Chains A and B, each alone.
Chain A
């Protein structure tokens, strides 16, 4: 089944403890991206990648890192999480840019930082 898999689905952690949210897609998509969803703010793009080893900042990259060492994986790294990073996170992928390549989303990761 074609899908984007995010893990974990729920995560509670403490301030400053490094964590990684994994994202993997099995559709051979070139493009991948991370979003955070907050009430009243909608989805905001954190980072995106248009190819292996190519990443770029979205609108809210502060406090996050990503890597794209292989096409299928695009982990999101929080080196020192803070409470303002408590959010719902989504990974998404698409074959290319544009109208005929809509985003395929993972099921989301609910992160709580205390």
Chain B
């Protein structure tokens, strides 16, 4: 059974960089056509896709966050990571790591199959 577990600081200061890691168990990041990604949910609000990555290096980002977001994969640790720079209070949210099924194109993200439990990140001033 695939499991995803987010980890990282729960409090980040405004203007600094938010860094989260997702550890995958029950499956290998580097041996499949799956993409791995991040979705966030501000308190009391809806879901927002941030971006996704394939271990080959193909990345897909939400355009409005492009320039602030960096995704990376560490196949040796079976982990993938999110970095979001220049954070503001608007970035306060529960961050979920996810696995996509294969999508339409080569190494592209398809349906969100698995979700981590989520981790709350609060941006403080």
Same assembly: no
The chain A residues found within 8 Å of chain B, CB to CB, are none
The chain B residues found within 8 Å of chain A, CB to CB, are none
